[in-house]
Amino acid sequence: MDGSAELPFKFKPLDQRKGIIVPIPKTEENLELIFENQSFVEPDSKSEIIQQTTIGFIQNAYSYILGVMENDFPQLSRRFAIQLVQGKNYHHQGILMHQGILMLVSTERVAKAIEATPSSYVYKRENAGIAHELIHNITDDEDLPMFFEIVYMLEKDGSKRVREISDLLADGKLQKPHVDGLKNIAQWLNYETPEEMLKALPGKDINTLKQELKKRVKKYCIAELS
């Protein structure tokens, strides 16, 4: 081949920025977290505390995901670009929002979580929300992310989050992608409707749910990401 010939395509340059390397708890693996606005984080400042708390949330959520997947989830990236967004509140969607290649982090919600204890519902809810958003790195659909969020909260805090989701569904406050996600989960678990499923979930064996979740993630990855 003529080395001077122009290629019919061009590769997008790889992002060469170096991020913060942090361990994934309970594994021998690491995450690389690139904070888009890291230059504005001053030592011992409120922004540094928010950044460190965000790192902890992501580590915990990622560790939980790998636990469910029995450390077999190569399709999920170990490298994330993160942007701290001043005062942004994602309402029902938690501290972190997945948007393209960026993970947007609400400093307002992180600050509220800092005031809570790790055993509190608020703290666990934010960890579950981050697990939800991390799964959006492999899918734009809401079924697998919602399934992870629900299973996490059932295991860590009982049925309160499931009741909240049930109320949001009954009040018509869930967007269509989330409703469709619940319909898919209900189908996977052999329920006629999301309402029936949400009512029954608190009584389900958590290990059975985790095995079903792992099976669905594997099936999706084989079908869509292979």
pLDDT of 12 strictly over 60: no
- Is the residue at 7 inside a domain? no
Does 223 or 44 have the greater pLDDT score? 223
Structure tokens at 150: 């629900």
**DSSP H helix total and E strand total for the chain:** 8, 5
pTM (2 decimals)? Answer: 0.87
Could you tell me if 122 and 178 lie in one domain? no
pLDDT of 89 strictly over 90: no
Whole-angstrom Cα distance, residue 154 to residue 198?
11
Could you tell me if 42 and 131 lie in one domain? yes
Residue 8's SS3 state is coil
Which amino acid, one-letter code, is at 164? E
Whole-angstrom Cα distance, residue 113 to residue 53?
9
pLDDT at 50: 87
pLDDT of 226 strictly over 70: no
Phi, psi at residue 108, to the nearest 5°? -65, -45
Asked if 162 contacts 153 with a C-beta cutoff of 8 angstroms, the reply is yes
Of 133, 120, 121, 119, nearest in space to 54 by CA: 133
Using one digit for the tens of pLDDT, what is the confidence trace for 53-83? 999 999 999 999 999 999 999 999 999 999 8
The DSSP secondary-structure symbol of 6 reads: P
Whole-angstrom Cα distance, residue 37 to residue 88?
15
Structure tokens at 25: 């708890």
pLDDT at 11: 41
Kindly give, in sequence order, each residue whose CB lies less than 8 Å from that of residue 153, ignoring residues fewer than 6 positions away: 124, 125, 128, 160, 161, 162
pLDDT at 92: 58
**Best mean pLDDT range from 36-50, 84-98, 126-140, 141-155:** 141-155
Using one digit for the tens of pLDDT, what is the confidence trace for 172-212? 999 999 999 999 999 999 999 999 999 999 999 999 999 99
Could you tell me if 173 and 144 lie in one domain? yes
Given 103, 120, 137, which residue is the final one in a domain?
Answer: 137
Could you tell me if 117 and 161 lie in one domain? no
pLDDT at 221: 94
Using one digit for the tens of pLDDT, what is the confidence trace for 111-146? 888 899 989 998 999 899 999 999 999 999 999 999
pLDDT of 25 strictly over 50: yes
- Strand spans (E) along the chain: 20-23, 30-35, 79-85, 96-99, 102-106
Could you tell me if 128 and 162 lie in one domain? no
Range of the domain at 169: 140-226
Could you tell me if 129 and 154 lie in one domain? no
Could you tell me if 90 and 193 lie in one domain? no
